[in-house]
Structure 1
């Protein structure tokens, strides 16, 4: 048995090939997550959650000594999770160990190499030579690996390596302390090497670290256009925010790219300020681009092609901003301007302009012209390789077909896009949104299991795979599933989160989240809250009819019918019916079959509320005839028992017997239609009783779930869970989870 840090001077390769040697190396000695859990909680006497253990195991990479030193640092801390999130190589125990046991034991040559190359996230011989100015990089890396000195090979060819995370932290800290001037030099050399080897992202990162901002700005300008629409906007935005403002403002192409990158982050005003920065150079009499190292008071252009197309791309950006402000006329004006300015072969920006023009038509309710414009835009974008732009147009095409009542075609649009994303490896930005779209269509057909599976698949892919403009859709879709399950409390919580996730964008907000929430309040009988919303929105039955406000007016109709059922005043149902007739005329003129079906359903319900079943059947029969070919189910079933009464009568009259039987069967298997679940204890002796949601959170706290795990279980944001915790603790008059559990049991709440 031989134990050694370094490989012994033996014919290891021959012994290994003959099977005459058993090796236990560092990888075998690292703790697995389960072993780390046993060690930290059993051996070290801690009580860490699974999430905290996983985070610590990943940070230490299973290094046993590192876990032990971390455990020593954790003892006695109140915010354990916060400490673990921030745990790095600057922890005093880690620093002392690695300095005394590793760094100080190296020769001056090796120590200098370690400190100089600590700035690198990954290491190769040639790269290390460029940074250190030496020629022994490959030999030293091989030596460090053989000596098991916290160097990890990243490939089987032993070309790329990295330092162990904690060791790298310690090295960087010492490099800054001992050779601060060399750190900037090293970053600059690394940037030059990465640029020469066509690794521009790394080149930019090191240029920024060296604070060589002119160099970084030039590099960013060359890659920015390729990053827009490819899911890399957050990275681009991060780089741009690190650049001094005066450098960005001197570069018109970079300013335009900054405007696009900031649209979904800093808002319209910030984006428009960047566009004005770019436009001032177009108005300058001498528009001669300067070299990359020109002073900041003169225009600098590196991307010459981007500069030539800049007037057109600015018009595209202006059209986008106009749409986000709800200025439809401005959208059309700037989109047409962009199409006039852009070169015929500029498929990327001409495609974007055509798509924005489609949005303008869509906002006005002109769905077929909108569909044609989107189709043209998508066809152009398909030639560019910008898959994300293609996918973003998919949502618009599908939404338009849904508004036209063509659900099957909408499903085909999503399925084709999903196949495209799958061909790209399934990691295309926006892929998770496609599953959300398909989920909603399956929900409408009452395929609830499939709908839920698609939502879970979307969540597995993660929010980083969702478009910023459509991230809220997941919460809306899950809310509608929860409502079908009878859990209106969860549904409304999810809609609250959807509002927080919503980002202003040019797509017409034809189904506002606030209106969906209001419909939930109506289902709960919270008419006072619903009427407050009506007043806030300034809605009346005499408003001008527009497609953009159609859903809000349909929500107003639901409130009026609910008031009639509650108060039996004829004026409410009379006003509702009059508004519905006007909405129906507008929808028929715009050939919006999806809207027509919903309006006819509400007309039938308004007449049913009056007890006029015979007249209620007339609009219902037409709605059924329009809906049956596309397989609508939830549009009818979600209306509850009044609709079941009407469908039973329609079935008795022989109206579309197969379809009405299918809809009635959906009622039979759905026992919780529009019912508020009741899981509150019979008695709460608290002066301020816990809400249903607070009780659910309390139950999960008692099961030992962390805040993050509770959020995942209930589909809530982490901040929302923490807010529920604060309310629970306040109502129970406690400070900690353990106290809350004890107090809740005393009160019979658990």
Structure 2
């Protein structure tokens, strides 16, 4: 969100004196402890908020944690809504919510990822947690509702949600009702009974009405608490109480109109004017009311209104901030619009200027929009644009832009470019380009010497270079390397010597273009310069996020130790600087997990991924979000859980958007490698056909990962059904790939290529040459000890070569190291593959080393979640391991598994 959060929205409202006791409702509320949802649904003025506050006061806290959020209209934007929800939960349970808050600033908002992290955090809390959302209807739309349904459907059993709303939310209530998972309190329940109405009218307000008068009011209002309150205010000081009550009739709408007329008619003109003019505000404080109403007694007036019970609700303990009862505010605004429509825009304009002067940009923009002062709104947005982009708060700007007339957006080059940028990062490149064209035409149309009608900002001055950078990004996303270079060079020409951010972006795309061409040496030099420019410009979020790209380039150059140093240094910087720099932390941990995985350290990889997940995979750039799922999928495959690996890779594919970075490791090819390792060769062959990859293709870097995957497929097919011709094609393709990589500094590629050459030569029956090629793989690697998973993933064929290596040579040293690490993933032949390529479960199957680790922890007092944390894996991964252990030991319970393991001498 732009600007600070409103802390008073997280306060539980205070109870007023004279509250009517309602034990029947409090008992209904307590029943929610056994359900996922308590729904309090009724029209305005039925006492929903008061009931919730009374319930929280009535029940001692104990081990219960309560997170409260008073929802308002600005929370209908999902980013704002989930920011406040996560903040409320964090206030109640400090260990919950920080990771989700880090993610929410991305565009488009990854709602399910945000909620998954919140749910994981909540699952780990030892106490009962209640999330109370008051006035939920103000935020209830399709996007928010979809996320709320997901949250409720996956709640841990000790977490409960309470929704207070004026209308039925768009949620699967029927399903939860049928399951007995919901407590409902409706208008019929909330209506005052005759006894409660009498207690209120006679005891709380001191009217001393007769039983007959109470019955009439209760019947005419149908127990509607707000109407009773309004009636009590109208009755105050009357001598003809009976006559007034006798005339009291009509529908709810007319009752409200009549009563408010009566209430307002009994106020002095200054009070009435204050009420009407301040009603445009969602929350009130003295100085703000002074600025809007044009008086100097705002704080005193608010205190008077509170004492007079004029529907003023305190929002904090110090009585500085208030709001009107929502129903009362609605009627006041309607009255203001009816009596003084010409004044409404001026009031909103005054509010906008006050909020601007107090650096509350979001409120300032909202009131400018309400005033329909679009020029002012545009001005404020232009001023806010640099900070919003720097802090990755793009969804806030997008929400503003959707409220502006399109012609107002198009008149501002800054906003047009920002709108185009957001379309671009969302993957809609065709819609983005016209916005850049319009911005360029608008700037070109200003005559020389004349001042443009836009805010004179740094953003405007550097806009031509920014547009060129965005065009380079679109060209890169489309695979147009030449176009990427042309636009990036144009951006460099437009940027001044001190325009570090523009120069950094332009140099970055030149480096990416070199990487896409496979020229790793030039890519490293250029992209390193780009990162230095980002540092000079103070854009640390992008600088640290770009570390992942630079580290990937060093991996392509065969220097994993350099990549690790980059990650570790960036992580130290991020931790030292704190927010908002910490939002780059997940990317850094994911990168370190990939290095650990390749080095054969599965436990280390798991630890980094768990740490990244605690930040909820908040990625500063759209293209980074999918990487956690790719890395976790590779770990799952290495742990012998291919089904989970493929599920994670499917999720990565759903998150992936073409954009800033070359797609050098396509997710589809990673999935194909999992299929090949499992013997699912027909599925892998389908991938090759759909991808259009063939052994006769030209050897280009952007297709290299696909080609190396194809070689693995051809080798696996040859092992099943020998085909010398196909094997020969694979060998020739590898030779072309080796020649291309040798001249471009891609030592990381050469290690993999040379290893596959060794496997192909062994498949041809030339084991001596295969062993020499295997030795060359390590001899050519600048840092051979950094590679383990690359070899281990090749299964039994490579292990045979490793065992045959000369113990006294270089290959023998590395062979012993790799064989010592072990290979948790057996190939299809060793695991007894069925005709479909899937391993056939058998009680004779030995337990893998990872499964033995799990088994030892099952023979302890640790719970499942505790075991998962001990192993640095998710609970789902632990369940997959446990299921396989049970299958192999032919048992169905944890105790039986431990007993059978002891019988077999495994423990």
Aligned to 1:220: 381
Question: Following TM superposition, by how much is the alpha carbon of 1:585 offset from its aligned partner in structure 2, in angstroms?
Answer: 1.1
Using the alignment, how far apart are the partners of 1:81 and 1:389 within structure 2? 47
Distance in 2 between residues matched to 1:714 and 1:143, nearest whole Å: 58
**1:420 alignment partner in structure 2:** 573
Q: How does 1:315-354 map to 2 (within 5 A)?
A: 315-354=468-507
CA shift for structure 1 position 322? 1.3
Distance 1:224 1:72 in 2: 36
Aligned to 1:363: 516
Local SS of the residue matching 1:5: coil
Structure 2 counterpart of 1:261: 422
Q: What is the distance in 2 between the residues matched to 1:153 and 1:67? A: 21
User: 2:745: which partner in 1?
Assistant: 591
Matches of residues 166-181 of structure 1 in structure 2 within 5 Å? 170=327, 173-180=330-337, 181=341
Q: Does 1:663 align with 2:824?
A: no
TM (norm. structure 1) is 0.75
Correspondences of 1:7-46 after superposition (within 5 Å): 29=58
Q: 2:697 aligns with which of 543, 559, 570?
A: 543
After superposition, the Cα gap between the structure-2 partners of 1:122 and 1:94, relative to the gap in structure 1 and judged at 3 Å, is farther
Which residue, out of 421, 425, 441, partners 1:280?
A: 441
Map 1:307-456 onto structure 2 (within 5 A).
307-428=460-581, 429-456=583-610
SS at match of 2:425: coil
Distance (whole Å) between structure 2 residues aligned to residue 126 and residue 526 of structure 1:
70
Note the C-alpha offset of 1:116: 6.1
Q: What's 1:704 paired with? A: none
Find the counterpart in structure 2 of residue 519 from structure 1: 673
Question: How far did 1:400 drift?
Answer: 0.2
1:690 matched to which residue of 2? Answer: none
The partner residue of 2:633 within 456, 479, 504 is 479
Distance 2:538 2:561 in 1: 27
> What's the CA shift string for 1:161-193, capped at 9, x where partnerless?
365xxx865555445555455776554332111
Alignment-derived partner of residue 663 in structure 2:
509
User: Do the aligned residues in 2 keep the contact of 1:485 with 1:673 (CA within 8 Å)?
Assistant: no
Structure-1 residue corresponding to 2:616: 462
- Partner of 1:644 in structure 2? 799
**Partners in 2 of 1:618 and 1:556 — Cα distance?**
23
Tell me if 1:238 matches 2:399.
yes
Contact 1:176–1:183 (8 Å) recurs in 2: no
Q: CA deviation at 1:536?
A: 2.3
Equivalent-residue separation in structure 2 for 1:33 and 1:393 (angstroms): 47
1:696 corresponding residue in structure 2: none
Deviates more, 1:97-106 or 1:309-318: 97-106
Partner of 1:665, secondary structure, is helix
Gap regions ≥5 residues in structure 1: 8-23, 38-48, 291-298, 683-711, 716-750
The structure 1 residue matched to 2:133, chosen from 56, 59, 73, is 59
Q: CA deviation at 1:55?
A: 9.3
CA contact (8 A) 2:135 2:165 kept: no
* Partner residue, 1:744: none
Contact 2:64 2:128 in 1 (8 A): no
- Given that 1:152 and 1:161 are in contact with CA atoms closer than 8 Å, whether structure 2 keeps it comes out as yes
Distance in structure 2 (CA, Å) of the matches to 1:230 and 1:89? 42
The reply to whether residue 249 of structure 1 matches residue 403 of structure 2 is: no
**Residue 105 to residue 554, structure 1, CA distance change in 2 (3 Å):** farther
Greater shift, 66-75 or 371-380, is seen at: 66-75
The Cα shift of 1:554 comes to 0.6
Provide, for residues 637-684 of structure 1, a one-character-per-residue CA deviation record: whole Å limited to 9, x for no partner: 11112221111122535435553322112116x3656768879999xx
2 CA distance for matches of 1:346 and 1:546? 35
Greater relative CO (CA pairs within 8 A, separation 6+): 2
Are the counterparts in 1 of residues 500 and 537 from structure 2 also a CA contact under 8 Å? yes
1:206-250 deviation per Cα after TM superposition (whole angstroms, max 9, x unaligned): 223444322211110112123223211222222222211111111
1:491/1:627 CA distance change after superposition, 3 Å: farther
**C-alpha distance in 2, partners of 1:312/1:642?**
53
Unaligned runs of 5+ in 2: 1-13, 19-52, 67-118, 137-160, 192-222, 234-262, 844-873, 878-907
What per-residue deviation string (whole Å, max 9, x for no partner) do you get for residues 410-450 of structure 1? Answer: 11111122222212215433322221111111111222222
Q: Where do residues 579-618 of structure 1 align in structure 2 (5 Å cutoff)? A: 579-618=733-772
The answer as to whether partners of 2:524 and 2:553 remain within 8 angstroms in 1 is yes
Between stretches 66-75 and 221-230, larger displacement belongs to 66-75
CA positional deviation for 1:70? 7.5
User: Retained in 1: the 8 A contact 2:15–2:54?
Assistant: no
Q: Cα 1:633–1:92, aligned 2, differ >3 Å: closer, same or farther?
A: farther
Which has the larger displacement, 580-589 or 255-264? Answer: 255-264
Secondary structure in structure 2 of the residue aligned to 1:539:
coil
Asked whether the 8 Å contact 2:734–2:753 carries over to 1, the reply is yes
Match of 2:292 in 1: 131
Distance 1:285 1:183 in 2: 34
Task: Report the counterpart of residue 103 of structure 2 in structure 1.
Answer: none
Q: CA deviation at 1:205?
A: 2.6
CA 1:252 to 1:93, structure 2 compared with 1: closer, same or farther past 3 Å? farther
Per-residue Cα deviation, 1:473-493 (whole angstroms, up to 9, x for no partner): 111011101111111111111
1:525-536 equivalences in 2 (<5 Å)? 525-536=679-690
Contact 1:69 1:94 in 2 (8 A): no
Do the aligned partners of residues 593 and 215 (structure 1) sit closer, same or farther apart at CA in structure 2, a change above 3 Å counting? same
On the 8 A contact 2:598/2:788 being kept in 1, the answer is yes
CA-to-aligned-CA distance 1:312-359 (integer Å, 9 cap, x gap): 222222212211111111111111111112111111111111111111
Larger Cα-atom Rg: 2
Secondary structure of the corresponding residue to residue 57 of structure 1: strand
For residues 556-567 of structure 1, the aligned pairs below 5 Å read 556-567=710-721
Shift in CA distance, 605/78, structure 1 to aligned 2, threshold 3 Å: same
Q: Which residue of 2 aligns with 1:199?
A: 360
CA distance in 1 between partners of 2:291 and 2:818 (Å) = 72
Write out per-residue CA displacement over residues 82-102 of structure 1, whole angstroms, 9 at most, x where no aligned residue: 9xxx99999897798663576
Q: Give the distance between the partners of 2:674 and 2:450, measured in 1 at CA.
A: 58
Question: Structure 2 vs 1, CA of residues 36 and 93 (structure 1 numbering), >3 Å: closer, same or farther?
Answer: farther
CA distance in 2, matches of 1:388, 1:186: 39
Contact 2:679 2:827 in 1 (8 A): no
CA 1:127/1:586 → structure 2, altered by over 3 Å: closer, same or farther? same
Q: What SS does the corresponding residue of 1:203 show, helix, strand or coil? A: helix
Deviation at 1:618, TM superposition (A): 1.2
Rate the CA distance shift 1:395–1:4 in 2: closer, same or farther, 3 A. closer
- Return the alpha-carbon distance in structure 2 between the equivalents of residues 636 and 104 of structure 1: 81
Q: 1:151 aligns with which of 311, 314, 317?
A: 314
C-alpha displacement at 1:78, in angstroms?
A: 0.4
Residue deviations 1:683-724 (CA, integer Å, cap 9, x gap): xxxxxxxxxxxxxxxxxxxxxxxxxxxxx9659xxxxxxxxx
Q: Distance in 2 between matches of 1:90 and 1:120?
A: 29
Between the aligned partners of 2:639 and 2:777, the Cα distance in structure 1 is 25
- Name which of 304, 321, 330 aligns with 1:161: 321
Shift of residue 260, structure 1, vs aligned partner: 2.1
